[in-house]
């Protein structure tokens, strides 16, 4: 952000509000572009992963090479679809819901560091901000479910609200563990810390537990199987977006994949070294190259975790509402707190794996 | 408990949820009216008849032979077994018996079709529970079965192959060899299914102790097939009332529910009975294939009667067969004409479905879907 402002200032002599608004436009535009392209790729990837798990090929025709253009074609189709609003729907809320849902995740992208310096704003409370702003999505989903005036939508929305709000507790608790070690909420600091001390997942014996807790609760937060109750197809037809079609539906879709990305990226950044590699020190490399390599490393890690999310989705059955809640409150929250307290004790005494030894 | 002031417009009420007739998990056009208290079902009422095609009435207006294709369309996932029951009923009426070879072929095709039908039950049950992948695995094997059944019958789903007096066409030795090869492959695949779904912890959690049908309820509601056997009643017409000679000579077990992961007669038990029945069918086919004798595949006397419509002597016949879904019975009354004056079907899905209204109240909506799936109904047969 600052880079762009200063660049605009130097090159075109612009200052103040004008420079700021240009910088905003560039940032938002590039982020939107990134999310769209990423979502298209992720949808294609999901279909391919699903297909190969299910002994079939998936899209093969559109765009010659393994159906790479299938998502593009789908997006175009969704854009051109008739804009349907159910007659008995609450129009204002119905129209606003997809935007609200998308906003939450989109705002989270602002604080995400893709590589050293490649970040819109390096917030002091980056982690906090991302998980906090993502909660806006729940409001949008409830709006969608209520405004659709469909019983299935309402069921989906209520399930979503209960699930996502409950799972914010284990998410936050599990994230506090690496935060405790690094001593900062700033996402950039995690990368710097791991560059120096190695990946946090190997930091102490509690870290894998915290990582697992976070990953599972992030699945629930993204409404991914086995926690896809809000849109449980065999029960609720399509859940809260049953009545949506065309462009508005695609916003819900976009949101789902964008939040998958955020979740996977947080796992890679907080536990798996972010843009750092254990045996590769890029800090001394020239400015552009280090950033490029760092970004590539981070994206590879992120996509690995996205792949794991897809893998789980196409392998596991869906859980029941009470079982999902039970898992959250009976297993993830206690284990998250155990990891938190354990890490605190271990950090205090300087232990890592075996208490009292090393 | 909480007194709601009348002025307050915030109030709670029962939610009436209309599950179906177009719903992803009602296995066709079943409509269930549910009364919901949040996620919990408080009352349910089945509404059937969306696929009513007057099959029984048609039976009273067409000749005996012409009705065979209509039986295909009742339980369209197990057409061979339907053909078999109808053919046996007509044979009983005209007092002929299919030749030895036809009987053995009937056993093989009926058991193959039973596997195909149970594969659908397995695959769609996975989808009901939220696992989409088993469905594709099941359909891969079902595809092989359909290809096998297509070779003698010429059709993939609605075979019209078993006919009064025998079977429609002969099979060759190569076909029998291919059936045996399929058995080998299927045994390997069956293990995959169990790793993928049966032993999945989430799957067990979702199905064990859900939709428990006690033995006496199952008997009282006239449940048959895997639904009855899932409740621990060892009753299988193939074993207890062998309607085809070969079943007497073949060795096979009748799997019953054991309450492995919870109560006896829960969804998991019914599911597991179906899974094991597939393996029993494989066992039957393995024994039957080498024992198919030479000889005619169609009774000469009956096929001679095919040129003019059959005219059985006045009388009545009731035959019941073990379909994949339970006891399929055909009751035929003849008054000497070319078509029966009464042609009644005892459809297993219809009787099994009756127990649904007992099972649903008090469960959650996700369990409701699991219960409907575990009954494994085919609406073509329920509504006829």
Distance from CA of B128 to the nearest CA of A (A): 5
Mean pLDDT of A66-93: 84
| Spatial separation of the C-alpha atoms in residues B330 and B342, rounded to whole Å | 10
| Residue B6 domain-assigned (yes or no) | no
pLDDT single digits (tens) B99-146: 888 889 999 999 999 999 999 999 999 888 888 888 899 998 999 999
> Is residue B8 in a domain?
no
Could you tell me if B199 lies within 8 Å of chain A, comparing CB atoms? Answer: no
Q: What is the per-residue pLDDT across A14-67, written as a single tens digit (0 to 9) for each? A: 667 777 777 778 888 888 888 888 888 888 898 889 898 888 888 888 877 888
pLDDT of residue A294: 79
Q: In which domain, by residue range, is B102 found?
A: 15-383
How does pLDDT run across B46-89, given as a tens digit for each residue? 888 888 888 888 988 888 888 888 988 888 888 999 999 999 99
Looking at chain B, the whole-number percentage of residues with pLDDT higher than 70 is 97
Q: Which residue blocks in chain A are alpha helix, DSSP H?
A: 2-12, 16-53, 70-80, 91-109, 126-133, 136-147, 151-182, 187-197, 207-221, 233-236, 246-270, 287-313, 321-326, 333-349
d(CA A215, CA A272): 12
What is the CATH classification number for the domain harbouring B231?
1.10.645.10
Least confident window among B40-49, B292-301, B315-324: B292-301
CB of A228 less than 8 A from some CB of B: yes
The pLDDT of residue B200 is 86
A11 or A178, greater pLDDT: A178
SS (H, E, C) B295-345: CCCECHHHHHHCCCCCCCCCEEEEEEEEECCEEEEEEEEECCCCCCCEEEE
Smallest CA–CA distance, residue A173 to chain B, in Å, is 25
Q: Give Cα separations from A334 to A29, A337, B226, B339 (angstroms).
A: 42, 5, 42, 72
What is the three-class DSSP state of B167?
A: strand
Q: Which of B17, B129, B365 sits opposite A317 (nearest CB)?
A: B129
Chain B residues inside the 8 Å CB shell of A321: 39, 364, 366
* pLDDT, greater one: B2 or B78: B78
Query: In this complex, how many residue pairs, one in chain A and one in chain B, have their CB atoms less than 8 Å apart?
Result: 80
Does the residue B297 lie in any domain? yes
Mean pLDDT of B193-199: 87
What tens digit of pLDDT does each residue of B267-287 get? Answer: 888 999 999 999 999 999 999
Q: Say if A318 is an interface residue toward chain B (CB within 8 Å).
A: yes
pLDDT category at A2 given cuts 50, 70, 90 is low
Phi, psi of A47 (to 5 degrees): -65, -35
- Say what the pLDDT of residue B117 is: 92
> Average pLDDT, whole number, for chain A?
82
CA distance A187 to A172: 15
Inside any domain, residue B192? yes
Query: Does pLDDT of B2 surpass 60?
Result: no
For residue A237, give the nearest of B23, B136, B205 by CB distance.
Answer: B23
Mean pLDDT of A232-237: 72
| A309 phi/psi in degrees, rounded to 5 | -60, -45
Give contacts of B 4-43 with A, CB under 8 A.
15, 17-18, 23-25, 39
- The whole-angstrom separation of Cα B157 and Cα A161 is 45
The rounded distance, in Å, linking the Cα atoms of B150 and B11 is 60
Q: In this predicted model, which residue has the larger pLDDT, B26 or A318? A: A318
Give the rounded percent of residues in chain A with a pLDDT score beyond 70: 90
Q: What is the largest CA-CA distance in chain B?
A: 85
Q: Three-state DSSP class for B96? A: coil
From the list A151, A235, A317, the residue facing B25 with the nearest CB is: A235
Model pLDDT, residue A282: 65
CB contact under 8 A, B202 and A232: no
CB contact under 8 A, B202 and A226: yes
> Residue B100 falls within a domain, yes or no?
yes
Q: What is the distance between the alpha carbons of residues B37 and B34, in angstroms, rounded to a whole number?
A: 10
Partner residue opposite A319 with nearest CB, options B140, B202, B369: B202
Q: Give the tens place of pLDDT for each residue, A259-273.
A: 888 889 888 888 887
Q: Does A54 touch chain B (CB under 8 A)?
A: yes
Bin A218: left if φ > 0, else alpha if -120 < ψ < 50, else beta: alpha
Q: How far apart are CA B355 and CA B363, in angstroms?
A: 14
Instruction: State the Cα–Cα distance between residues B99 and B97, nearest whole angstrom.
Output: 6
Percent of chain A exceeding pLDDT 90 equals 1
The answer to whether the beta carbons of residues B119 and B271 sit under 8 Å apart is no
pLDDT of residue B303: 73
Q: Judge if pTM exceeds 0.90.
A: no
Mean of pLDDT values over B333-344: 87
Q: Do B39 and A321 touch (CB under 8 A)?
A: yes
Supply the pLDDT for residue B118.
92
User: Which residue among A54, A56, A321 places its CB closest to the CB of B364?
Assistant: A321
When divided into structural domains, chain B yields a total of: 1
Domain contains B200: yes
Q: Which pLDDT score is estimated for B1?
A: 41
What DSSP letter does each residue of A231-284 carry, written as one string?
Answer: G-HHHHTTGGGTT--HHHHHHHHHHHHHHHHHHHHHHHHHTS-TT-BTTB--TT
A46 interfaces chain B, CB cutoff of 8 Å: no
- Residue B165 domain-assigned? yes
Tell me whether residue B2 is in a domain.
Answer: no
Are B96 and B301 contacting, i.e. CB atoms less than 8 angstroms apart?
Answer: yes
pLDDT above 80 for A279: no
Cβ contact (<8 Å) for A317 and B202? yes
Q: Round to whole Å and give the CA distance between A152 and B24.
A: 12
Structure tokens at B213: 């049908």
Beta-bridge partners for B33:
B18, B45
Can you read off the two tokens belonging to residue B46? 């089945």
The residue with greater pLDDT, A230 or B155, is B155
Q: Check residue B115 and give its pLDDT.
A: 92
| A358 has a pLDDT exceeding 60 | no
């Amino acid at each position: 952000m600052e880079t762009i402002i200063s660049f605009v200032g130097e090159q075109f002599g612009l200052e103040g509000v004008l420079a700021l608004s240009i910088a905003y436009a560039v940032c938002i535009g590039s982020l939107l572009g990134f999310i769209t392209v990423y979502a298209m790729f992720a949808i294609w990837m999901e279909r391919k992963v699903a297909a190969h798990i299910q002994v079939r090929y998936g899209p093969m025709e559109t765009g010659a090479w393994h159906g790479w253009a299938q998502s593009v074609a789908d997006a175009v189709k969704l854009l051109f679809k008739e804009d349907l609003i159910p007659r008995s729907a609450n129009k204002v809320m119905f129209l606003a819901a997809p935007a609200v849902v998308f906003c939450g995740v989109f705002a989270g992208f602002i604080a995400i560091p893709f590589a050293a310096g490649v970040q819109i704003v390096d917030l002091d409370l980056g982690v906090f901000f991302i998980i906090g702003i993502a909660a806006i999505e729940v409001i949008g989903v409830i709006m969608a479910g209520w405004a659709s005036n469909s019983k299935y939508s309402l069921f989906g929305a209520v399930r979503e609200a209960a699930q996502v709000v409950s799972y914010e507790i284990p998410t936050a608790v599990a994230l506090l563990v690496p935060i405790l070690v690094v001593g900062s909420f700033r996402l950039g600091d995690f990368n710097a810390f791991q560059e120096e001390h190695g990946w946090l997942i190997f930091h102490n014996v509690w870290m894998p537990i915290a990582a697992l807790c976070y990953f599972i609760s992030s699945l629930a937060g993204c409404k991914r199987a086995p926690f896809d109750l809000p849109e449980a197809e065999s029960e609720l037809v399509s859940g809260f977006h049953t009545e949506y079609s065309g462009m508005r539906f695609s916003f819900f879709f976009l949101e789902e994949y964008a939040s998958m990305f955020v979740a996977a990226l947080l796992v890679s950044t907080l536990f798996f070294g972010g843009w750092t590699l254990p045996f590769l020190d890029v800090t001394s490399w020239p400015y552009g190259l280090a950033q490029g390599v760092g970004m590539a490393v981070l994206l590879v890690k992120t996509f690995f975790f996205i792949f794991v999310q897809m893998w789980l989705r196409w392998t596991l059955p869906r859980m029941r509402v009470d079982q999902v809640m039970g898992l959250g409150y009976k297993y993830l929250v206690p284990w998250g707190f155990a990891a938190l307290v354990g890490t605190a004790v271990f950090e205090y005494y300087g232990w890592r794996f075996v208490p009292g030894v090393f | 408990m909480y007194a709601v002031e009348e002025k307050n417009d915030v109030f709670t009420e029962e939610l009436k949820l209309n599950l179906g007739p177009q719903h992803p998990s009602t296995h066709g056009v079943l409509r269930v009216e549910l009364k919901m208290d949040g996620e919990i079902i408080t009352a349910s009422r089945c509404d059937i008849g969306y696929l009513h095609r007057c099959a029984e009435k048609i039976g009273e207006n067409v000749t005996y032979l012409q009705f065979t294709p209509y039986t295909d369309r009742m339980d369209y996932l197990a057409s061979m077994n339907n053909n078999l029951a109808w053919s046996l009923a007509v044979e009983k009426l005209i007092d002929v018996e299919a030749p030895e070879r036809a009987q053995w072929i009937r056993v093989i095709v009926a058991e193959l079709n039973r596997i195909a039908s149970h594969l659908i039950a397995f695959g769609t049950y996975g989808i009901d529970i939220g696992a989409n992948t088993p469905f594709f695995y099941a359909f891969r094997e079902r595809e092989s079965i359909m290809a096998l059944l297509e070779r003698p019958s010429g059709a993939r789903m609605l075979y019209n192959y078993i006919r009064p007096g025998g079977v429609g066409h002969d099979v060759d030795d190569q076909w029998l060899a291919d059936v045996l090869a399929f058995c080998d492959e299927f045994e390997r695949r069956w293990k995959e299914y169990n790793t993928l779904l049966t032993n999945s912890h989430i799957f067990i959690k979702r199905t064990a102790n859900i939709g428990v049908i006690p033995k006496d309820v199952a008997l009282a509601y006239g449940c048959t097939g895997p639904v009855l056997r899932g409740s621990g009643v060892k009753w299988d017409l193939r074993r207890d009332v062998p309607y085809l000679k070969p079943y007497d000579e073949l060795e096979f077990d009748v799997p019953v529910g054991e309450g492995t992961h919870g109560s006896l007669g829960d969804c998991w038990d019914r599911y597991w009975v179906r899974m094991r029945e597939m393996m029993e069918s494989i066992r039957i086919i393995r024994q039957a294939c080498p024992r198919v004798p030479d000889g005619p595949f169609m009774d000469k006397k009956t096929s001679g009667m095919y040129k003019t419509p059959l005219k059985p002597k006045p009388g009545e016949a009731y035959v019941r067969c073990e379909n994949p879904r339970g006891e399929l019975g055909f009751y035929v009354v003849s008054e000497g004409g070319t078509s029966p004056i009464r042609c009644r079907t005892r459809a297993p899905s219809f009787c099994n479905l009756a127990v649904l209204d007992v099972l649903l109240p008090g469960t959650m909506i996700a369990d409701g879907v699991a219960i409907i799936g575990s009954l494994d109904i085919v609406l073509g047969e329920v509504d006829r």
